[in-house]
Structure 1
Amino acid sequence: MKNLNICIDIDGTITDAYYWLKPCNEYFNTNITESQVTEYYIHEALGVELAEYEKFYEKNKFKLHAEQKLRPAAKDVITELGLYHNIYFVTARDKSLTMLTHRYLRKNGIPYDGLFVLGSHYKVDKARELNCSIFIEDNYDNAIQLSDAGFKVILIDTTYNRRPINENITRVHNWNQIYAILEKLSLQEKAM
């Protein structure tokens, strides 16, 4: 029997948080750097209208998500965690990206027990359904919403989520820190 039910976001969490920056800068003729990205929503970070960004995204979403680079150590940590815990990817991605997301995870050799492409940033109900032990996220609003619903959240640090956190959220900087936290949590669960 596996120990924890670990829910993990994808974009910006297992992948590079700024995967969209270069193509967006080229398309919108901007010169935004990672340190200038202080908003989660890309159109706000770029200073463009939502409709303009949505037009770009619809045209480029399959290419953007197929070519994302993984964060350092994400694959190794998730692979190790998957031996002892259930791994559920819960993403706000558009439902049209479901097959691409399965292919992306398989192509990168990332094991998982379930993939849930919600097409919405509201993840609380899915976390409840999965009996989520802990949720790994990069979106500040999602982290707050999940933590307010009683879930423990690991928030992977980015320039766009540096706001105050509550007692249910732990901020980390890399996947090795995530592994250490989950190992400690796993030992606590076994001791109960």
Structure 2
Amino acid sequence: MSSTPTRTLRRRPSRTVPATVTALVLVLGGAALAWAGIAGLTGDTTLAEGSLTAGSGLAWGSPALYAAVAVLTVLGLVLLFAALVPGRRTLLTAGSTWGGPEGTTTVLSRSAVERFAAARAEQIDGVSSARSSLRGSRLKLSVTTYLLSTDDLQQTVRNAVQSSVDDLGLESAPRVRTIIRTEHDD
């Protein structure tokens, strides 16, 4: 037996929103400085002089300066918070190893469970299409059918999909909720 401590796989989403906001701010600031620098090199100093004139009129205690500092502080704290707080887990852990080597952990992405549930529902007679979304511990299944009576179909779909999801062996299997919608040819 190994004395190495086990680590759990906790894949988190990428930080695309904070990275995009930071990159956009840096690009816009760099573009503004480049524009002012190029304008200054070509002899047009009105932009630089206007900025210096506007900035020189500000006092250390002016409300405009406090507002600018407050906005920059809030933006920095929001970006720091978005970078440090982990996002929602994107992987679900299965309890069994499915015949793999000892100590192997099987994981499924949330989107894989959604696609699996929708595909399983579409295999049932009377179902023309299905979509699913997994939020927390609830799997919402939206089913479309051409049948007029949907009571039996709703129960059949819910039971079949719930059984299939339970068979995946997830540590916390989501509860299936089914919504049936009928479509009729006109």
TM-score, length-normalised on structure 2?
A: 0.22
- Structure with the greater alpha carbon radius of gyration: 2
* Greater RCO (CA < 8 Å, at least 6 residues apart): 1
TM-score, length-normalised on structure 1?
A: 0.21
Q: Which has the higher strand share?
A: 2
